[in-house]
A and B are shown apart, each in its own frame.
Chain A
Amino acid sequence: MSDNLNTQESPPEIQFAGVNRWLKENLFSSTGSSILTFLSVGVIIGLFRSIIGFFISPEREWTAITYNLRLYMVQAYPESDFIRVWITIGLVLGLLGLTWGFNSVSEKVSLKSTSTTFMKVFSSIFFLILIAPSTVVIDKVEGTEAEVLQQSLRFYLLGIFGILLLSSYFIRTRLAKQEMAKDYLNILYVGLLVVALWLIKVPTVTFDSSNVRLDPDPYMSLATSTKIPWTFLYVLLVATFFIGKYLSSKNIKSVKRILPASWLLTPLVVVTWIYRKPDFTMTQIATLDLPIIIGFSLIGYLVINFLNSEKLVQYQRFFVYGSLLIALVVFSLPVVRQLKLPLFMLWILISIAPTIANSKESARNLFIVWTVSIAILILLMRGGASESLIVVPGSSIYGGFALTWVIAFFGIAISFPFGVILALGRTSTFPIIRIICTALIELVRSVPFITWLFFGSVMLTFFLPSGVEFDEVVRAVVVTSIFSAAYLAENVRGGLQSISKGQFEAADAVGLSTLQRISLIVMPQALRAVIPPIVSQVISLFKDTSLVAIVGLFDLLYIGSKVIPNQSQGANFLGTIQENILFCAIFYWLFTYSFARRSMKIEKRLGLGER
């Protein structure tokens, strides 16, 4: 490349103008600015001193969290079936690895930027150790103090981080041009986390043979009981990463479709088959489900092969509306559940088959897709409808973080189609439909989420036929999705309004029907335009799931604010509310912050919001 005639000048490299100039420009540009600088430095140091003091004060009982981590994650999920939880995590991590490997772009990062990051981290820690208080007040009334950080320990730590800081500075200056694959670096980071599980030792609550808690708590490694599964999962992640990379190098196209489908399917499989441990009765599967699967597969075969013929294609409209009508009628009839949804899917198949399956090969592909999805659907329904063999006394099998994500994921997933339909209704040209949709959206939105949760937990049963009762988690998911649908509808409406009138006219002019116009022209553009607001809505809904604690569901926050601070049996954690609330705060923060950062990066890469 060097012998190319490159007439374009590269921009001059920005020189670091020196510490003095930077300080002058950014901190002491004027008298006011200097005063502000000193003030804020004072406030920051004071704040961090008290925060650190709070964390390392001898009054804190951090074992309340380490001891209760399992409670936090899955609440009372029985020990004997714990393998199911690990399978769930393994499934997600495996998929994550595959996707990551398959989409890895072999991006390289220079050691310079990596070590700059390290320098930032190390210098922050260095700074924090420097300002950490050596004593804290433990009794506010008496004013007694306790020493929490010996000076020798402080110097020791300062020394360690000083060396780390210097070495990363050394790498930054000497090996600046070296590069490393970003993926391997990330694998290394995760590996370091797993190593930390084995190496770092913390006080751990332990009981002796007569069930008395040892005092003081012996030091044991970070995740005493779970370090082996975590290590195994790490290996799985790395292995699937390389499998994904291999698949992408082989250029297998179908993986591109299978991966998103599996992401959609995984949560369903988890809640119907894995987590619930359903009571699969083979006779029912053999006598009811299998015939239905085969039947629908055959119908699908007929539809795909005969609907395309010259004679029938002109009556397509009647087939489409007819099948929709049949599906609607059957839906309201008391027949087996396994028939209701497949009929709607058949309606979709009938509407798209003549267009998609116009060659032998595509007909075959469509038939395979059809059969597989019908089989999965019916088996999922079997899993969901069967009795769960897992019994948790007093509450649902979902608790802790598992409950949080179940409500968040299904709340959003279910709300999506309804939100889109509501948005379409609200922008429709039909006045009656528009008024109804508008009223619905506005009513739902004007009332706070918590009242809807009360509606779900106390009032929903009144509106259902007597005898029909839902699990409280299901009710929470239902109201969450109603609530989320209304907000989503407003976001989607924004997208719909951003589409110019010309697009509608052009779609009309080339002869598309209303349904085709919406699904082929309007929706793809509208949804693309509203990805950023939808992402922030998803984030805020994730945060809002914490409200189920108020109606008494055992989610992460309920466990942190009500359950653990009241534990007096065994290990005594009475009154550890501060520690637990802080843990919840940090936990939620990590999730929402990293999700927000990640999505911002993706949005930037897609160039959204800049059009």
Chain B
Amino acid sequence: MSIIQSIDVKKWYGDFQALKGITMDIGEGEVLVICGPSGSGKSTFIRCINRLEQHQDGQIIVDGIELTNDLKNIEAIRSEVGMVFQSFNLFPHLTVLQNITLAPIWVRKKSKADAEEKAMELLERVGIPEQAEKFPGQLSGGQQQRVAIARALAMEPKIMLFDEPTSALDPEMIKEVLDVMKELAQSGMTMIVVTHEMGFAKEVADRVMLFDEGQLVEENTPDEFFNNPKSDRTKLFLSQIL
């Protein structure tokens, strides 16, 4: 059964059409990797899923709720869907622990003690419990991204979106973030990952998609995608990136 359904989603910026009708289904517990050249609409699409951007035509249904302008639906979706950004976007004026507990306390109305206990658990899980009292500015990029993952997980989302989580990182830090993401995928989380890390896609993804110029060009299993792509556009893309 599918947890995210997208039917003919279209989006314009002024006169420029960023999404030209995207239709796809994502099942529960599935790990989906989206790749594609920059400006192909892949980031726009996943940002539409938790309504950081509004699509203008078509339907997106997340966990049985359709994304409309309904205030209630938007709030419901936001707490179901966690998001990790390319540039981390941690709150610099709060400590790591406060970053993680903020939303559970103010949105989920958890008690501070509960939220902190859970946050420490998550920090343990992403491997940096000793950094809890530090400020984001004092951490390395890889550590910051792991805190961002913990922050998203603290809301206990059903779906996690990753928007190029490793693009802003130094090579030696990419691995520590990818390890956390792999562990997360193995635990059965539904994930949509926009990334250029083909190794990750090969190893973890259930499906790989290629976006180009606002369209879904290819949708395939990792094996087929890398070894036996259907479209020429994918071949070209793979030849450029590998």
Q: Which of chain A's residues have a CB closer than 8 A to the CB of B91?
A: 503, 506-507, 521, 525
- For A502, the closest partner residue in chain B by CB is B89
**Chain A residues, CB < 8 A from B85:** 502, 505-506, 509
Does B50 interact with chain A (Cβ within 8 Å)? yes
Given A509-B82, A512-B103: A313 and B109 interface contact (C-beta under 8 Å): yes
Would you call B111 and A516 a contact (CB within 8 A)?
A: no
Determine how close the nearest CB of chain B comes to the CB of A507; give it in whole angstroms: 8
Question: Chain B residues with Cβ under 8 A from A316's Cβ?
Answer: 109
B82-101 to A contact mask, C-beta < 8 Å, 1/0: 11010101111100000000
Interface size class of B (residues with CB under 8 A): 20 to 34
Q: How far is A188 from B78 in the complex, measured between Cα atoms in Å?
A: 61
Residues on B with beta carbons closer than 8 Å to the beta carbon of A516 = 106-107
Return chain A residues, CB-CB under 8 Å to B236.
none
Q: How far is the CA of A313 from the CA of B108 in the complex (A)?
A: 11
Q: A480 to nearest B CB, angstroms?
A: 31
Bound CA–CA A503/B102 (angstroms):
14
Digit string of A383-396 for contact with B (CB within 8 Å is 1, else 0)? 00000000000000
- Verify if A120 is at the interface (C-beta below 8 Å from B): no
Chain B residues positioned under 8 Å from A355 (CB to CB): 105-106, 109
What is the bound-complex CA distance between A593 and B82, given in angstroms? 51
| Chain A residues within 8 Å of chain B by Cβ, number | 24
Known: A503-B89, A505-B52. A512 touches B107 (CB 8 A): yes
In the complex, B242 has a CB within 8 A of chain A: no
The CA-CA distance from A340 to B85 in the complex, in Å, is 45
- Indicate which residue in B52, B93, B105 contacts A508 across the interface (CB closer than 8 Å): B52
A510 at interface, CB cutoff 8 A: yes
Given contacts A502-B87, A508-B52, A525-B92, contact A358 B111 (CB under 8 A): yes
Q: Which A residues are in CB contact (< 8 Å) with B109?
A: 313, 316, 354-355, 358
CB B54 to nearest CB in A, in angstroms, measures: 12
Pick the residue among B89, B103, B110, B112 that contacts A511 (CB under 8 A).
B103
Option from A354, A358, A502, A510 in Cβ contact (under 8 Å) with B155: A510
A317 to B110, CA, bound (A): 16
Flag whether B151 is at the interface (Cβ < 8 A): yes
| Distance, CA A358 to CA B113, complexed state (A) | 9
A524 interface hit (Cβ, 8 Å):
yes
Contact, CB under 8 Å: A512 / B50: no
On chain A, the residues within 8 Å of B79 by CB distance are 511
**A500 partner residues in chain B, CB cutoff 8 A:** 87, 89
Least CB distance, B238 to chain A, in whole angstroms: 30
Most chain B CB within a 10 A radius of its CB, from A503, A506, A508: A506
CB pair B106 A509 closer than 8 Å = no
Chain B residues, Cβ within 8 Å of A508: 52, 78
Instruction: Specify which chain A residues have a CB less than 8 angstroms from the CB of B81 in the assembled complex.
Output: 509
| A354: chain B residues within 8 A (beta carbon) | 109
> Which of chain B's residues has its CB closest to A506's CB?
B89
B93 near A528 with CB under 8 A, answer: yes
Task: Collect the chain B residues with CB atoms within 8 Å of residue A510's CB.
Answer: 78, 82, 102-103, 107, 151-152, 155
A117: interface (CB < 8 Å): no
A520 touches B155 (CB 8 A): no
Per-residue CB contact flags for chain A residues 482-506 toward chain B (1 = under 8 Å, else 0) read: 0000000000000000001011011
State the CA gap A524–B93 with chains docked (Å): 7
> Taking the complex as formed, is A113 at the interface, i.e. its CB lies under 8 A from any CB of chain B?
no
The distance in angstroms between the C-alpha atoms of A316 and B112, with both chains bound, is 18
State the CA gap A187–B105 with chains docked (Å).
46
Q: Give A550-594 interface residues, CB cut-off 8 Å to B.
A: none
- The proximity string for A residues 327-362 relative to B, scoring 1 for CB distances below 8 Å and 0 otherwise, is 000000000000000000000000000110011000
Chain A to chain B: the 6 pairs with minimum beta-carbon distance, closest first: A506-B89, A358-B111, A510-B103, A502-B89, A511-B78, A509-B83
Give B contacts to A, CB under 8 Å.
Answer: 50, 52, 75, 78-79, 81-83, 85, 87, 89-93, 102-103, 105-107, 109-113, 151-152, 155
List residues of A whose CB falls within 8 A of some B CB: 313, 316, 354-355, 358-359, 500, 502-503, 505-513, 516, 520-521, 524-525, 528
Please name 6 further chain A to chain B contacts, defined as beta carbons within 8 Å, in addition to the given A509-B52, A509-B83, sorted by A numbering: A316-B109, A502-B87, A510-B102, A511-B155, A512-B106, A525-B91
Can you list 27 A-B pairs, Cβ within 8 angstroms, ordered by A?
Answer: A316-B109, A354-B109, A358-B112, A502-B87, A503-B91, A505-B85, A506-B85, A506-B90, A508-B78, A509-B50, A509-B52, A509-B81, A509-B152, A510-B78, A510-B102, A510-B103, A510-B107, A510-B151, A511-B79, A511-B103, A512-B102, A512-B103, A512-B107, A516-B107, A520-B106, A524-B93, A525-B93
